[in-house]
Structure 1
């Protein structure tokens, strides 16, 4: 039987976003920035400050997806002066818009019910995106100027779009995992990220940060050639990095001692950073997955 629902409090959506960003950056994600080590010219404070600036814009009640993306990207860039969370913003804006349209059941034990409703709501949000959403998103992408961003003959972000945002994202979906979420209804978030987080190991013995965040990050980094690395260095390099993650993830699961596990993760992290390998897209997808988990447990208004 369907239970009567109440929409999440907008403040709860903002808190869910900030918590997802904080949890991700406080977890040791090899190759990425985290509280255990900086990297790529940035520190944990860069991402915490960017998240704090973006959060109110992501959760702004009634705003379109394009408006959320534009305002959040501008606020983040003005605060930290670098592209710290473009991928996160692109992914979380549709999720926040979808969360406004659903209700939450009274019992937290029915989280799975909210996840199903949220996935359906995301599909509806994506189906209604238009050229104005594309225009605002393109302007945000051009402002952030992510590493490896090239020019396109069709739907280039520096030119006014003539198609909707989903159509524009679909053009890059085969090579960009963030764009693929728009085309495929956030399939990897719901079918790869969430199950990985729910099956996370280590529990209280995890001294690398949040077990779910670590499990989600490793699931994405070991399963998909990271789009950020592919843009900067090519698909062959990204695939080689994916294989390194697959090997590392399997090895980490076989280390029982927490201190040895931490040492192994720090060594892999340092090696990736020496090579300039930053699985930034895997980190973006991790935040989006944690955001969905948080939204499914958010209190109603």
Structure 2
């Protein structure tokens, strides 16, 4: 079934809060802020963003721009651009009548409708948020008038940015990495908010790919070094059933990465989108 704006907004806020509950090494969470931000920063950004993400009368690009402006007005910095870019198409997909289609199929249909106006609005949002590197693509830089649709524009950045890759690949990593990691953690009874399903999704992305945010700021070698540290943590956690010990492990790596200024922000964005997709799919089944 199609979801109401209230249901979409609730699913979005629940995803944002679950991601903040998770002790994500290097990224902001309720146990520790970092990089000039706290959990309250992201709570405020999510609250400002949710109504715009869930606006069925707006196209995807318009939602992205309005949500980014609202977030910026609320917290004065780029707190959730990647989240907004990922969640706007998912929200639009959930609002469509299901007619036997899965959420993934609906996302594919939404992506096929994106045009130059969506590109124009998304580019304006990216330029406002100034994420550093994202959107710099020669003749199709975000500061230039777009001449192509949003999916085509994202394809130009897909080799260096995992958020852009979702548009280029039909949100493949969300549906084939994030959602399975969440489901596996739930099936294993890992329901602790700090080290359960949300952390499992975060680590799944952080282990599968050198984080785009770290790569843009510090280069591929450093991003790969962080990826290896995440893989070692994931391996240790897989052999550790005790909740307190699991949390301590995650927080040790968290402190190490924050001391070095390393933030796997793209992995966190993908985690929110995966949790949002899970929430939307569950709401559609109710």
**Which interval holds the TM-score relative to the shorter structure?**
over 0.9
Matching residue of 1:203: 189
**Deviation per CA, 1:33-55, whole angstroms, max 9, x where unpaired?**
00011111100000010000000
Following superposition of structure 1 onto structure 2, how do residues 32-47 of structure 1 map, counting pairs within 5 Å? 32-47=27-42
CA shift, 1:125, in A, is 0.8
CA shift, 1:148, in A, is 4.2
- In structure 2, stretches of 5+ residues that fail to align are none
Matching residue of 1:75: 70
How far, CA to CA, are the matches of 2:218 and 2:114 in structure 1? Answer: 32
> SS in structure 2 opposite 1:298?
helix
Matching residue of 1:22: 17
CA shift, 1:253, in A, is 1.4
CA shift, 1:239, in A, is 1.1
CA RMSD of aligned residues (A): 1.8
Following superposition of structure 1 onto structure 2, how do residues 225-236 of structure 1 map, counting pairs within 5 Å? 225-236=210-221
The number of residue pairs the alignment matches comes to 285
Matching residue of 1:274: 259
How far, CA to CA, are the matches of 2:72 and 2:137 in structure 1? Answer: 24
> SS in structure 1 opposite 2:23?
coil
Choose from 74, 79, 85 the match for 2:80: 85
Choose from 119, 133, 145 the match for 2:130: 145
Matching residue of 2:223: 238
Name whichever of 72-81 and 116-125 sits farther off: 116-125
Q: Is the 8 A contact 1:99 1:295 kept in 2?
A: yes
- In structure 1, stretches of 5+ residues that fail to align are 1-5, 105-112
Could you state the TM-score of these two structures normalised by the residue count of structure 2?
Answer: 0.95
Matching residue of 1:109: none
Q: Is the 8 A contact 1:13 1:59 kept in 2?
A: yes
Could you state the TM-score of these two structures normalised by the residue count of structure 1?
Answer: 0.90
CA shift, 1:206, in A, is 3.3
How far, CA to CA, are the matches of 2:25 and 2:102 in structure 1? Answer: 33
